[in-house]
Amino acid sequence: MSKTIKKIGVLTSGGDAPGMNAAIRSVVRTCAYHNIGCVGIYRGYQGMIEGDFKEMGPRSVNNIVNKGGTILKSARSREFMTPEGRKKAFDNIKKAEIDSLVVIGGDGSFTGAEVFNSEFDIPVIGIPGTIDNDIFGTSFTLGYDTALNTVIDVIDKIRDTASSHNRLFFVEVMGRDAGHIALNAGIGAGAEEILIPESDLGLERLLDSLKKSKLSGKSSSIVVIAEGDKIGKNVFELKDYVESNLPEYDVRVSVLGHMQRGGAPSCFDRVLASRLGVRAVETLLEGKSNFMVGILGDKITLTPLEQAIKGHSEIDRELLRVSEIMSI
């Protein structure tokens, strides 16, 4: 039988993502709406271990819906991977009378939540927050839409200078295991070629494509590359390779890096965060546990945490074809 929920702890864990603050705000205010307590846990699981808590009411989260980062801060905790660490964490939340958790983060954060739940029977709900969009069970993770806009905004700037000088740019974007950012931002920014982990384009085809692009009368080109693509060379080696094979090209490299994690969240991310926060709290109130809230189609849905962790978020193969047509 499900226990009555009286006080929910909320934390952010793993890499931060725009929209996390909007999700925290939503969790806090939904708790207030239902007259239950809410405690902010700082620095993710590490803060649970250290008892770094703060009671939160609706006014604690004023004016954060539009702020990047996370007011609860995030950290990776090695200690939480040990039974001793988790025991400390449990003792702390028990002392603080926290009876359930909302965990905002990615795969790793959900795994921690699951283990913790299995050991101490604390109801947990996950909210997917990562710019990489690599979580099974949701079409969009918090921060992903914002990161896409950040990336195309930067590539628009790079294109200004690329087309003034008839240059080729290699732009590396985030995405170690998943090419969602590269594929969508690449289409959005009008990239001539997109290299992602999911598709092994190969060096030969890249050269062919660049040759064809030159012949077709394009004066400048942008190639978008996911961090984790499998072409076998890093972006600087790739530059050297292309320049030695296609001497007509003057290649410049831009590695976008951590700016992709920051910035005011897009409207899409703020609304999604608000919806997911409401559903996360209300799912706990319904007596459920071990689910991730997500969005599929236009509907807020529940996916068992186990599936969210094990499943793989596939890219949409149709987009590869769209990208190919667009770069004609």
Using CB under 8 A, which residues numbered 133 to 152 contact a second copy? 139, 145, 148-152
Stretch that binds a second copy, among 48-56, 91-99, 271-279, 301-309 (CB under 8 A): 271-279
Q: What HEC string does the chain produce? A: CCCCCCEEEEEECCCCCCCHHHHHHHHHHHHHHCCCEEEEECCHHHHHHHCCEEECCHHHHCCCCCCCCCCCCCCCCCHHHCHHHHHHHHHHHHHCCCCEEEEEECHHHHHHHHHHHHHHCCCEEEEEECCCCCCCCCCCCECHHHHHHHHHHHHHHHHHHHHHHCCEEEEEECCCCCCHHHHHHHHHCCCCEEEECCECCCHHHHHHHHHHHHHCCCCCEEEEEECCCCCCCCHHHHHHHHHHHCCCCCEEEEECHHHHHCCCCCHHHHHHHHHHHHHHHHHHHCCCCCEEEEEECCEEEEEEHHHHHHCCCCCCHHHHHHHHHHCC
Build a one-symbol-per-residue string for 225-254: x at contacts with a second copy by CB under 8 A, - elsewhere: ---------------------------xxx
Closer residue to a second copy, CB minimum distance, 95 or 267: 267
| Closest to 108 in 3D by CA, of 139, 146, 82, 81 | 81
Binding residues among 78-107 for a second copy as defined by CB under 8 A: none
The C-alpha angle 254, 153, 225, rounded to 5 degrees, equals: 40
Q: Which residues are annotated as a binding site for Mg(2+)?
A: 107
Residue 14: count other Cβ atoms within 10 Å of its Cβ. 21
CB of 11 to a second copy, least distance (A): 12
Q: Which residues are annotated as a binding site for substrate?
A: 130-132, 167, 174-176, 227, 252, 258-261
Alpha-carbon dihedral 171, 177, 178, 182, rounded to 10 degrees:
0
CB of 38 to a second copy, least distance (A): 12
**CA 276 – CA 301 distance, rounded (Å):** 9
Q: Which residues are annotated as a binding site for ATP?
A: 15, 76-77, 106-109
319 binds a second copy (CB under 8 A): yes
75 binds a second copy (CB under 8 A): yes
* Active-site amino acid positions: 132
Q: Which residues are annotated as a binding site?
A: 15, 25-29, 76-77, 106-109, 130-132, 159, 167, 174-176, 190-192, 218-220, 227, 252, 258-261
Instruction: Give how many residues touch a second copy by CB under 8 A.
Output: 86
Binding residues among 151-210 for a second copy as defined by CB under 8 A: 151-154, 156-166, 169, 184-185, 187-190
CB-based contacts of 304, cutoff 8 Å, min separation 6: 290, 291, 292
CB of 117 to a second copy, least distance (A): 25
Closer residue to a second copy, CB minimum distance, 76 or 88: 76
286 binds a second copy (CB under 8 A): no
Closer residue to a second copy, CB minimum distance, 151 or 308: 151
CB of 300 to a second copy, least distance (A): 7
Q: Which residues are annotated as a binding site for ADP?
A: 25-29, 159, 190-192, 218-220
Binding residues among 38-67 for a second copy as defined by CB under 8 A: 58-59, 62-63, 65-67
Stretch that binds a second copy, among 86-94, 97-105, 227-235, 259-267 (CB under 8 A): 259-267
Closer residue to a second copy, CB minimum distance, 101 or 191: 191
Given candidates 29, 86, 180, 239, which one binds a second copy under the rule CB under 8 A? 29
Closer residue to a second copy, CB minimum distance, 82 or 216: 216
